[in-house]
Structure 1
């Protein structure tokens, strides 16, 4: 008998605050068996000491939860002399000297190993002053990081982040085609793709072969150009078109809820989980 392939639903505990037990307990209540770790106890996960990471792992183990990914801030940085705008890196510095970057990569690998995370998110350098903006393609640190990741048994996945240099489909495809053979994959944030006007069926079909992880958040567009975050499925991001295409390309993808809803994040996560379970063919673990 053929066992049906099932996608994975993932919850980030820090959506409910710095105490990871709150989000973990909600995951259990919602029947979600996998976690994404980004920050805990008010600190970025890659800055936490070994014993605190081991404690987070034990909290997950006690509840029968597995860590699907480390949502690291690697490459969401610029040189110390650059001046980034307001950037959310969850307690990680945005200005990082070249000589310190490999150390952060290695530290993220160790954190992923302690947490049991098979994937690590990375970015593509912050867009700053044109003369100081670094190019991700050709960055000599990237092949070194991919080599370390391969030795460590984890995979690096690039998120399409509008404040970084690689956010549109064309440069994403260029980077992925160049480094995919070395292990680089795509951490697809559908809402970010929609923000740059490219969350279309055609674009998603081009990107789908590289996708290893999907971030799910939603928002409503306001008349003044601002955004109001809302539960997945209640905003303007075209998940009804995108999710079936992603599932057809890979029926075992992790779908991670990232609400950014401040007033009632637990309710938003509940609604988002129900929406994803109704939209992804074959259901979600």
Structure 2
């Protein structure tokens, strides 16, 4: 069995049909849904979500995952830094959060996927919340189990759980929680090593692929996967050895010529992962 390549249509804009057509042209059969029609997927209405699903179904494409923004938030009184939350608020009152968990599971059901991404609270200094002891996590894991859905924790640098040790703690304490591993993020926090990937690999259920080079101003210049500094040639074989069948989702963040970056990224993945990808 092979792993699969996944494409996010919103890399090409807010008309999902455009990205889906590129997926079809590249022989990519799976999609990750994050935003469409100018809104985060969680705030689209059911009719819009059904339209996204229909566009995918018409092309023979399957939604592999919902890239939800759950837990990429802080309390209203906290002050987050610059955060890309893809059209979702970063300050969310505690009393609203359970509703958003329920909504994410409902959105996943409409889209036909059983994978939902979660984060671990924005890191806001002394006002940061404790993801591992958040009662909402217990609620969400039970609700996801009833729905036949897996919650997958992404290692996000602006959130509280981003490095291997706390990731492993959270995953070992919550057997219903899987890992949405972003290898670019792992490299960004100083742990883009074979040893780190080998330790995390047993928990990985989904992989994000992006690449970048540092700019003179300290920011990142995103480039096509394989063209930047993330040591994929070292990391991907380690991950594949432990987890030979995984979804690999292209999240290039390349704003200029995104179609070219996705095309090059798909070719890079298929040529780098042992045995290739479907």
Report the TM range for the smaller structure's normalisation: over 0.9
Aligned ranges 1:2-17 → 2 under 5 Å: 5-17=1-13
Distance 1:178 1:52 in 2: 37
Cα distance in 2 between the residues matched to 1:283 and 1:85? 39
Q: Deviations for 1:39-85, whole angstroms, at most 9, x for unmatched residues?
A: 00010001111111001000000000000000000000000111111
TM-score (norm 2): 0.99
**Paired residue for 2:107?**
111
In the alignment, what sits opposite 2:178?
185
Between the two proteins, the alignment pairs up a number of residues equal to 278
* Paired residues for 1:75-154 under 5 Å: 75-130=71-126, 132-154=127-149
Q: How far did residue 18 of structure 1 move?
A: 0.5
Q: 2:248 matched to 1:255?
A: yes
Structure-1 residue corresponding to 2:160: 165
Does the alignment pair 1:71 with 2:64?
no
2:3 and 2:134 map into 1 onto residues whose CA distance is: 33
Runs ≥4 residues deviating over 6 A: none
Is 1:38–1:71's contact at 8 Å kept on the other side of the alignment? yes
Contact 1:82 1:129 in 2 (8 A): no
User: Which residue of structure 2 lines up, in the alignment, with residue 215 of structure 1?
Assistant: 208
Gaps of at least 5 residues in structure 1 are: none
Q: Which runs of 5+ in 2 are unaligned?
A: none
Tell me by how many angstroms 1:224 deviates: 3.5
Q: Is the 8 A contact 1:191 1:216 kept in 2?
A: yes
The structural deviation recorded for 1:250 is: 1.1
1:187 Cα deviation (Å)?
0.3
The normalised TM-score by structure 1 is 0.96
Q: Structure 1 residue 220: deviation in Å?
A: 0.7
Matches within 5 A, 1:56-67: 56-67=52-63
Q: What's the C-alpha RMSD, in Å, of the aligned pairs? A: 0.7
